[in-house]
Amino acid sequence: MNNYIDHTLLTSNANHEQVTTLCEEAKKHQFFSVCINPSFVSYCADQLKGSTVKVCTVIGFPLGANTTEVKIFETKDAIVNGADEIDMVVNISDVLDNRWDKVEAEIAAIKKACNGTLLKVIFETCLLTNEQIVNLCELSKRAKADFVKTSTGFSSGGATVEHIQLMRDTVGAEMGVKASGGVRTHETTQAMITAGATRIGASASVNIVTGITSVTDGY
């Protein structure tokens, strides 16, 4: 289970001491990655040098409302600074307005900017209908994204087993599915994996794998 987890700290008041602890916990428990805001990417890359832990960061976070050009710049900058994985937030307003061509074009543009770096697409499923989730899965697949992802963890809800099952059923076996937002226990994590998640975004990662209380706010 440990290597499913993106050990996450995305709160606005996160400081270097907390990020250092995040990296140390990720190395100790052999989590897949740390997921941090872009300003911490180069610091985490230095902290994790020589380890197997990847550096994941977020783009257009948490609202998805940046222009595509800004998201492209953010993506390229993050990769130069040492990011191994990119989690981008779709423009949720465009999704709700059914501007599917624009949404797909943006994901494709970010994928091109990734230049081989793994790309996850964050949906914010709590704001969407099942039909919209299916549409997003299908166009993310066409745009060559590597993962679809439920949530930022900063909206009105997080991952659900039902949404993970729907996303897995839609994208098939070849794409990753990431459950994030409100995943805080071993039991919930296992339920998400059973439903089809291949990655878990969590701030309560240490609690999930050991039962020791860890960070539970935000993600």
The 10s digit of each residue's pLDDT in 57-82 is: 999 999 999 999 999 999 999 999 99
| Tokens encoding 5 | 């987890």
| Tokens encoding 123 | 């949906």
Choice between 14 and 215, residue whose per-residue pLDDT is larger:
14
Q: Which of 87, 111, 120, 141 is catalytic?
A: 87
Percent of the chain with pLDDT over 90: 96
The one-character DSSP state at 129 is -
Which of 107, 123, 102, 115 is closest to 177 using CA atoms? 123
- The count of C-alpha atoms lying within 13 angstroms of the C-alpha of 81, restricted to the half-sphere facing its C-beta, is 21
90, 106 Cβ separation under 8 angstroms: yes
In the block, which residue shows the tokens 């990734």?
Answer: 114
For the question of residue 28 being annotated catalytic, the response is: no
Domain 2-210 is classified in which CATH homologous superfamily? Aldolase class I (3.20.20.70)
Q: Which of 54, 71, 141, 178 is catalytic?
A: 178
One-letter amino acid identity for 192?
Answer: M
For the question of residue 87 being annotated catalytic, the response is: yes
- Which residue stretches of the chain are H helix? 16-29, 41-47, 68-80, 92-96, 100-114, 130-142, 161-171, 186-195, 205-210
Q: What is the pTM of this model?
A: 0.94
Q: At what angle do helices 68-80 and 100-114 cross, to 10 degrees?
A: 20
Binning the chain into helix, strand and coil, the percentages to the nearest 5 are: 45, 15, 35
How do residues 152-195 score in pLDDT, each as one tens digit? 999 999 999 999 999 999 999 999 999 999 999 999 999 999 99
